[in-house]
Chain A
């Protein structure tokens, strides 16, 4: 081994880079049990290179060893599902010969160290996961979580992450159409940067990450390979941040952060899609965490074949790289393609035209009864073993069963325990507090205008954006070069609610899924597929494992009740600092379809002279609170009253489905060019009716007046399955609701220049707009 510093994974609480004495495998982050397991799999002791491969492939980030056991409980099949979890992206059949690929990923730890590049490379990574399936990326969404912006470091992280997503996404040429912003103290030491990408392809272009055909060439496309991120997957993602002084840690870990090149990625996208259109590759996979080690072992394993790799053939950016460094480098903007020898000259031609490096680095080998072997050589000759032994030019440096790297990581059943404070937390229910009088100031404090963020993102490229950022969900035409003509649209939303999941991960996650379905309904879309990004704390804490398990059960139950398959997901663990875990933060990305997209949906802006109705139940008849207006886990309770406890309303998903279907149908008719019953529609979620109404007033530049609400509880409750709609045809709407078995009630009217909720809120529209405009921008440095 060279003298490059080896970084450790978190083992027994140790989190810093170690060069000290101790068995080699432990310094790589492998446990003694894992070493025994490897020895058994190989039938001999592994050498250092082999151990390094297992160390990265069996790291938490790559192998999901702490979560796989639980993830199995998620439902993954559905009639539209073409590709489920286990490939690079989930793919569904959208109709009209078009398939849609979707994936969500996290890039939390790198973004905490270097926010701009961490976020930028997160975008790069997710794009590759999508276009490796043959899909042209059509949109990106970015749910982001930080500590409150009063702190300078949070502002630095926030501005850096947004500029990173902006610079990469805009430059590579994929519009960013939505996302979420959440500010809570639990994220101050652990920002979360999740990125979702959706893409479209003609069904015939669907490609899988599978190697096949012994004798076929293994080709590396894209950037040269450097020492980027070496150990990044192991080190950054699998270890939390310790101690108060994060600057020390930054310095130690900064070399592990990669720098993105969106121009290289753009050329890579065009070259790969052209190769796939021409049928010139047998299989293709992107390089992400664990670099070549992952791409080679996964493609070989999926195809049941072996692979021979010559590290000397890999084009490098740095001198004197060892085989271990070449195999685990996380240099960005690289893909692995399997190409027949016959097609290789044409592949070279396509890549030359796009100025994309294409190099043969190996070949597919025969599989055996147990799959094939991954064998690594160094064609340049002596590699220099640790004990001074010199190896020959064609000597095999590593020889392992491919599937053992990709599939045989240990499956941990980590201990789970209900948090010791759960009882106390549930008892501390703000629903039972004294009634409040004037709520105007509290309403204003809950406003957050995210436009400062999305104005930095190109959200118009491709001429598909019918509803862009800042609305309930993004709505896109399903159109682009190479796609069959279609009048369909796709809708996408990302949703999360750590404040709910902290109280009750099971019900909280189900309620998040319900909200996502509501968001899609607002643009006329029916949900068809789910992806999830599970952001949790340290899995060695039994409470965190309990949270993860409960979340997965909540998601599984809700998906089954709503008939939705999970087509992919990502788990990010070890989001803790100073021994404190983040609140459980499952982020759900939900994809929806619109049959016929000819007109814009009504939008959230109130229209003067309309009546405002609440569609959906006014109260929850099964909640712990007799009034049926629970406030546990609401933004009001957490942000205005610093009350984080209570009992969440039990999700009633059959009823929810009925309401969401009604709204989706009403908006869908409008969007198809038919009956326009609604003038505006907005999902009631964070901040309750108060925030939903305020947002509608600001969007429409018109005031509103509601009456008969039952105190602050009805103003701020976040019960699911509710929509505020504005219409000139309230009678027709009420009739439609009755027919559908959905409750609906007139609450007031839109008009005038004040926002009034009788007895609770009274506010000049101008003041509301001013506060809205300053809500986010006002907190940032040089604005």
Chain B
């Protein structure tokens, strides 16, 4: 049975349709979840998509984290549900404290939209469980504030726990330890700056995004079965 995945839409999100299309391409049933919705019980997994929630005003994700839906997302995550934050979604997860650290402005102080190569460095997450460590994937980035930071103690901890799931092969934005994707300690909440939904079709350049989404959906099916 296909996994039932909710894609949260904040005011200003703009990648939700692309993410829904990508999830369906990967075999899921996707539905859009408005940011005022507080009931996620029918879902097997939740995705926070990219875009500019609240115009990125104040800080990216700073206002979206207070949306009514985020209480439900927190409960869903605490119960072990798989949660994926893509780009702006990753920013919302860090602002909400569901992932450690923060995303700050790119080192070059410019927006960057370009292909990127990332390496899977840990399979201890719902995003990478089905992918062999060391595999490199071609998945584009599109952001102004994608540089990951955290303090020394946190860095030590996330390295030790295998929470750093994706690293850039060539750091495009000054991210600490080349971090492109990160999981929480339990591995069920993952954030990444690259956009897997933009790599699902040869016509558009790469299909490596399907590898990531496929792994995520496998984890979702597994979580439901559990």
Binding site for B on A (CB under 8 A): 163, 166-167, 170-173, 261-264, 266-267, 354-355, 454-463, 465-466, 477, 480-481, 597-600
Contacts and interface: CB of A to CB of B under 8 A. Distances in A.
A461 B112 contact: no
Interface of B: 11-12, 14-15, 17-18, 21-22, 51-52, 54-57, 110-114, 140, 142, 144, 195, 197-198, 200-204
29 contacts: A166-B111, A171-B55, A171-B56, A172-B52, A263-B11, A263-B52, A263-B55, A264-B55, A266-B55, A354-B11, A355-B11, A456-B110, A456-B113, A458-B142, A460-B140, A460-B142, A460-B204, A461-B15, A461-B18, A461-B142, A462-B17, A462-B18, A463-B197, A463-B201, A463-B204, A477-B203, A597-B203, A600-B202, A600-B203
A262 B52 contact: yes
Contacts of A354: 11
B17 A481 contact: yes
Given A171-B55, A171-B56, A600-B203, A267 B11 contact: yes
A77 B54 CA distance: 42
B113 A460 contact: yes
B142 A262 contact: no
B37 to A, nearest CB: 12
A466 B204 CA distance: 5
Contact of B57 (A166, A172, A263): A263
Given A466-B203, A466-B204, A598-B203, A461 B55 contact: no
Contacts of B55: 171, 261-264, 266
A173 B14 contact: yes
A463 B200 contact: yes
Contact of A460 (B11, B12, B22, B195): B195
A266 B14 contact: yes
B174 to A, nearest CB: 15
Which of A263, A462, A463 has its CB near the most chain B CB atoms (within 10 A)? A463
A197 B90 CA distance: 30
Contacts of B11: 263, 266-267, 354-355
Contacts of A465: 204
Contacts of A462: 17-18
A661 to B, nearest CB: 25
Nearest to B13: A173
A267 B57 CA distance: 14
Contact of B113 (A261, A457, A480, A598): A457
A14 B36 CA distance: 56
Contacts of B197: 463
A463 B18 contact: yes
A24 to B, nearest CB: 41
Contacts of A171: 12, 52, 55-56
B206 to A, nearest CB: 11
A765 to B, nearest CB: 22
B113 A458 contact: yes
Given A266-B52, A461-B15, A481-B17, 7 more contacts: A170-B113, A171-B55, A263-B52, A263-B54, A456-B110, A460-B204, A462-B18
Contacts of A597: 203
Nearest to A480: B17
A599 B114 CA distance: 21
A173 B87 CA distance: 14
A349 to B, nearest CB: 14
A465 B114 CA distance: 13
Contacts of B57: 263
A461 B14 CA distance: 8
Contacts of B203: 466, 477, 597-600
B10 to A, nearest CB: 11
A197 to B, nearest CB: 16
Nearest to A466: B203
A171 B14 CA distance: 9
Given A166-B111, A461-B14, A481-B17, A173 B204 contact: no
A266 B22 CA distance: 22
Contacts of B202: 600
Nearest to A173: B14
A191 B21 CA distance: 41
A456 B15 contact: no
A-B pairs, 7 with minimum CB distance: A263-B55, A173-B14, A171-B52, A456-B111, A460-B198, A458-B113, A463-B18
Nearest to A170: B111
B161 to A, nearest CB: 33
Given A462-B18, A599-B203, A456 B112 contact: yes
A265 to B, nearest CB: 10
Contacts of A163: 110
A480 B111 CA distance: 25
Contacts of A355: 11
A167 B111 contact: yes
A170 B143 CA distance: 9
A163 B109 CA distance: 11
A621 B110 CA distance: 49
B221 to A, nearest CB: 25
Given A266-B12, A463-B198, A599-B203, A455 B54 contact: no
A463 B210 CA distance: 14
Contacts of A173: 12, 14, 51-52
B12 A263 contact: yes
A273 to B, nearest CB: 13
Given A171-B56, A600-B203, A463 B111 contact: no
Contacts of A262: 52, 55
